[in-house]
Structure 1
Amino acid sequence: MKTAFSIRVYKQYFNFASSHFMLFKDGTREPLHGHNYRVQVKGNAPELDDDMVFDFLNIKPIVRRICDSLDHKLLIPKNNPNLVIEDRENNYNIVCVDKSVFSIPKTDVLMLPIENTSAERIAAYIANELHAAVLAEYKFEFNELEIEVEETPGQAAVYTLFKE
């Protein structure tokens, strides 16, 4: 019989307020808008180390740091082929297929290495950032790392990262 243990972490401060716009396959986009996102983390391990999957005291500051990095930013998917991102002196000029142009101060923008700014893609981004930080800081990998990103109450996306 196969077994696994899990931890689930969701603190009130696992949140961020960000703006974004989704880009659709046909090149159209939705209007710029924002959400008050909330994040939950679940990590699985096949066995316990010192009677714990992973210490809550160690994971909470990492998740908070990731959420803080996303907070009060315009999230731009730098890997989206329907965007042209021009790096100007103090601004990014972001040109969409529909010819709309956003000129935003660089300090207000976070360029994410994702294809779109859907809750699903943001959850994947957070999972990869958390995985890398836990591995670098604690030399630990979860068998499965599940990230839930809630855009509005009752509406969330979940991404699961599996250990290879």
Structure 2
Amino acid sequence: MKTAFSIRVYKQYFNFASSHFMLFKDGTREPLHGHNYRVQVRGNAPELDDDMVFDFLNIKPIVRKICDSLDHKLLIPKNHPKIIIEDKEKNYNIITPDESVFSIPKTDVLLMPIENTSAERIAAYLAQEIKSAVFAEYKFEFNELEIEVEETPGQSAVYTLLKE
């Protein structure tokens, strides 16, 4: 029989308030708006190490730090093929397919290595960041790492990263 143990972590401080806009297939853009995102993490392993999947005390600061890096930022998907991002000394000029131009101070923007700023893509980004940070600090890798990103109460996206 195949078995797995899991931990699930969701703290009140696993959150970030960010703004974004989605770009749709037809080139339209939704209005710039924000969410108070909340994050939940579930990680599993086939066996326990010292009777734990992974120490809660070690995962919490990692998730918090990553959430904090997104807090109070305009999230821009730098991998979207139809967004133009111009680097202008202290600002980014962001030009969307509908020819809208946003000029935003660099300190207020997070250029994310994702294709769009959907909750699904943000969850995938968080999973990669958490996986990398856990491995860098503890040389540990979950068999499965599930990230849930809630953008409004009762509305969330889940991404599951499987060990290669």
TM-score band, normalised by the shorter chain? over 0.9
- Who is 1:2 aligned against? 2
Question: Which whole-Å deviations, capped at 9, do the CAs of 1:95-130 have from their partners, x for residues lacking one?
Answer: 011110000000000000000000000000000000
Unaligned runs of 5+ in 1: none
Amino acid aligned to 2:144: E
Which contiguous aligned blocks of 4+ residues in structure 1 show a shift greater than 3 angstroms? none
Amino acid aligned to 1:148: E
| TM-score under structure 1 length normalisation | 1.00
Query: Alignment identity in percent?
Result: 87
Alpha-carbon distance, 1:27 to partner? 1.1
Q: How does 1:44-63 map to 2 (within 5 A)?
A: 44-63=44-63
Structure 2 CA distance, aligned partners of 1:82 and 1:65?
A: 30
CA RMSD after TM alignment: 0.3
Q: How does 1:108-147 map to 2 (within 5 A)?
A: 108-147=108-147
Q: How does 1:1-164 map to 2 (within 5 A)?
A: 1-164=1-164
Structure 2 CA distance, aligned partners of 1:126 and 1:93?
A: 25
Alpha-carbon distance, 1:25 to partner? 1.0
| TM-score under structure 2 length normalisation | 1.00
Alpha-carbon distance, 1:142 to partner? 0.2
Alpha-carbon distance, 1:92 to partner? 0.2
Unaligned runs of 5+ in 2: none
Question: Which whole-Å deviations, capped at 9, do the CAs of 1:29-73 have from their partners, x for residues lacking one?
Answer: 100000000000000000000000000000000000000000000
Tell me, what secondary structure is at the counterpart of 2:107?
A: helix
Tell me, what secondary structure is at the counterpart of 2:124?
A: helix
Alpha-carbon distance, 1:79 to partner? 0.1
Aligned residues: 164
